Structure 1
């Protein structure tokens, strides 16, 4: 699920500047937990009875990827739409080997889930929050129209994407929560707003999974990210071993290509 492809310059705006050092740790955790999950699901025999690992540590990866996408879109990139397009390019590269994985029906991989949800959320945020939208009737009408179309597009796209409707809404849910938590102060009213803004992403985290164990790990991941946005990020030091960019960008399509090759030729 490569996704941290954003420009390194923080964009100007009303949001405060938060440390993104934690995402260096997040990259390693997300990549390792995703890889373990896929190895258990697609490579290891069921007789090993490792499904518990897929339903526990394997449920950390997707919410962590979605959180980092939302975080970088809000705090670390000048152009969130360009960021979304880069994620979709990774998805295109990974889609062919992804289709070799055993599943019941055609599905687009998780990069499409992340990229499309980021493109939609950032587009709405730009249109509805821009000066043009506040001062120009045409821009305001366009933003309102996109907002009204959102439920229909969400319903239409959800079945075709990995993690479905809940996954498609997770990046917007994180962006809503993180943007409010970043402004958190001692004012009771602002705290109430931040709490209310965090409820949708927590509900989505619960919706993503069925088993109690999977829900617990996903919710714990989301709560950890919310804590980071509320001030915890400033306490996290940079990771000692930074992940090479080539490894990060190539791992998602590369590991699926390796799994697909084994399923097609190695297991014969």
Structure 2
């Protein structure tokens, strides 16, 4: 991003959050960690033979990926983009490209499931709506009839979409809750009331993270990842050094559909794909 672009983003973030934009240096590390843990999860689930007994990798290391992806999307949607809905559309395009190879992966069920990009895109859209709703309520521009109507539509979309997307209803809640918590944690002052309010806003993220998985080890890795992201929003972002090698943008955009395509090709070559 150019210095002028940085200045524009800083001004936008300050207007949105009421405070200077926090450092996003940590997301450079987050990108590498998210892709590595996601790939470990998918390789252990779809490629590695069961005889190798590497299922533990997906239940531990693999549980870092989704909450980390959701945290980065929420962070960028809150602090680093002037148009979060356009950002959501870009994620959706990646999901559309990845859906066919994703559907070729072996599954316990033949039910249609939309990949994680749909979860992230819809979650960011919900987060934008929730923040807009809060702003309109604070400004007194949203009457009770409109509030009830919008809430009913949002609840219906969340329920229906949760039946079709990866990570389901809990996954769709992660980004809206992240955005709410990150904003409060970033704005919290030194007053005890501010800190308690920010802590209260962070608790729903951790609760939903704990509900997303069934095993204790999976819960632990997911909740720990969320807690780390929340601590970054609370000020730990200032302590993060620059990543030695930034991820190339093309690799970041292409890896998700590309690694599914590569796995589908491998499964076809070894005769595990009809």
- Common fold: TM-score over 0.5: yes
Equivalent position SS for 1:186: coil
Q: Which residue of 1 aligns with 2:158?
A: 154
CA distance in 2, matches of 1:223, 1:128: 24
Q: Which residue of 2 aligns with 1:4?
A: none
Q: Which residue of 2 aligns with 1:197?
A: 201
Q: How many angstroms does 1:152 deviate by?
A: 2.2
Q: Which residue of 1 aligns with 2:235?
A: 231
Q: Against the structure 1 CA distance between its residues 46 and 13, is the aligned structure 2 distance closer, same or farther, given a 3 Å change threshold? A: same
CA distance in 2, matches of 1:141, 1:49: 56
Structure 1 range deviating more: 153-162 or 251-260: 153-162
Deviations 1:31-75 (A, max 9, x none): 000001101110010000001111101100000000000000111
Of the candidates 88, 108, 121, which is equivalent to residue 115 of structure 1? Answer: 121
Q: How many angstroms does 1:237 deviate by?
A: 1.4
CA distance in 2, matches of 1:14, 1:239: 26
Of the candidates 13, 16, 26, which is equivalent to residue 13 of structure 1? Answer: 16
CA distance in 2, matches of 1:252, 1:37: 13
- TM-score of the superposition, structure 2-length normalised? 0.90
Q: Which residue of 1 aligns with 2:173?
A: 169
Deviations 1:85-133 (A, max 9, x none): 00000000000000001121210000000001111220232244159x8
Q: Which residue of 1 aligns with 2:139?
A: 134
**Is residue 31 of structure 1 aligned with residue 35 of structure 2?**
yes
Of the candidates 124, 145, 149, which is equivalent to residue 130 of structure 2? Answer: 124
Equivalent position SS for 1:226: helix
CA distance in 1, matches of 2:129, 2:224: 29
What is the RMSD computed on CA atoms of the aligned residues?
Answer: 1.9
**Is residue 182 of structure 1 aligned with residue 196 of structure 2?**
no
Equivalent pair of 2:127/2:176 in contact (CA under 8 Å): yes
The size of the alignment, in residue pairs, is 260
**Is residue 213 of structure 1 aligned with residue 207 of structure 2?**
no
Structure 1 range deviating more: 8-17 or 60-69: 8-17
Unaligned residue ranges in structure 2 (runs of 5+): none
Of the candidates 65, 68, 78, which is equivalent to residue 72 of structure 2? Answer: 68
CA distance in 1, matches of 2:115, 2:258: 14
CA distance in 1, matches of 2:142, 2:191: 34
CA distance in 2, matches of 1:157, 1:94: 18
Equivalent position SS for 2:163: helix
Q: Against the structure 1 CA distance between its residues 62 and 267, is the aligned structure 2 distance closer, same or farther, given a 3 Å change threshold? A: same
- TM-score of the superposition, structure 1-length normalised? 0.91
Deviations 1:158-209 (A, max 9, x none): 1100001110111111011101100122211111111110111001110111
Q: Which residue of 2 aligns with 1:59?
A: 63
Equivalent pair of 1:124/1:147 in contact (CA under 8 Å): no
Q: Against the structure 1 CA distance between its residues 39 and 234, is the aligned structure 2 distance closer, same or farther, given a 3 Å change threshold? A: same
CA distance in 2, matches of 1:267, 1:66: 35
